[in-house]
């Protein structure tokens, strides 16, 4: 960054520290040993919706990269808020392969000029009744847990959107030695309806 950028308050966007993703296998072992949470085999990358025509070749490049390594198919979906999710599913879940695939997808997007649109990556875990998403924030280089509370339905049949904040804090404390956990709780965004949850 130059002197004028400093004076005018401009800054270059922070490049995501994708190597942080390689800490996930250790975190997965901790989650299973301590809480009985196992990976679901679903991982996803969220980005602000890019121009459709420009994005199609990049999605093909991501799929070709995963195909070359025998990786899973990539499915592009759009959530109700207009964000694009690239979703990979594998069975049985393999955390090491999962991290390699996530790193490859994110690197390809970044190298193709979509780095500024990357928002987060999500890896799903479950113990059969409770679901946990470990969310990686690209711009911060940190993780946080997202745990929707299973509270049943309301009288009109809708599912209320509530989080299990106490369990999220428990997971934060548990994974402090494995992951770089986001210290600012205001950045722990709810990812309602995210693929993998």
**pTM, entire model:** 0.81
Residues in the chain with pLDDT values less than 70: 1-16, 49-72, 150-160
**Per-residue model confidence as pLDDT tens digits over 176-191:** 999 999 999 999 999 9
Distances (CA, A) of 100 to 22, 71, 136: 8, 9, 15
DSSP structure string for 88-153 = EE-SS--HHHHHHHHHHHHHHHIIIIIGGGEEEEEEEEE-SS-EEEEEEETTTTEEEEE-B-----
In this structure, the dihedral spanned by the alpha carbons of residues 144, 89, 63 and 98, taken in order and rounded to 10 degrees, is: 50
Residue 81's pLDDT is 83
Sheet containing 38-48: order of strands = 74-78, 83-89, 38-48, 118-126, 131-137, 142-146
Exposed (0-12), middle (13-18) or buried (19+): which is 145, by Cβ within 10 Å?
A: buried
Residue 68's pLDDT is 59
Residue 168's pLDDT is 97
Is residue 98 within 8 A of residue 105, CB to CB? The reply is: no
Measured on CA atoms in the order 186, 190, 195, 196, is the torsion positive or negative?
A: positive
> DSSP state, 20?
G
- Distance from chain centroid for Cα 166: 21
């Amino acid at each position: 960054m130059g002197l004028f950028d400093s004076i005018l308050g401009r800054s270059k966007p922070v490049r995501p520290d994708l190597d942080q993703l390689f800490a996930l296998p250790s975190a997965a072992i901790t989650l299973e040993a301590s809480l009985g949470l196992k990976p679901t085999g679903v991982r996803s990358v969220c980005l602000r919706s890019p121009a459709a025509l420009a994005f199609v070749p990049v999605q093909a490049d991501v799929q070709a990269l995963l195909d070359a390594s025998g990786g899973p198919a990539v499915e592009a979906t759009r959530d109700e808020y207009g964000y694009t999710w690239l979703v990979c599913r594998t069975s049985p879940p393999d955390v090491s392969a999962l991290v390699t695939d996530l790193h490859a997808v994110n690197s390809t997007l970044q190298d193709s000029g979509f780095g500024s649109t990357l928002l987060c990556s999500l890896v799903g875990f479950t113990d059969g009744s409770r679901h946990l998403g470990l969310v990686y924030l690209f711009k911060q280089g940190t993780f946080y847990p997202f745990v929707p509370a299973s509270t049943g339905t309301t009288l009109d049949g809708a599912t209320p959107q509530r989080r299990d904040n106490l369990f999220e804090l428990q997971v934060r404390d548990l994974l402090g030695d494995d992951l770089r956990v986001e210290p600012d709780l205001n950045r722990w965004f709810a990812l309602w309806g995210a693929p993998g949850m």
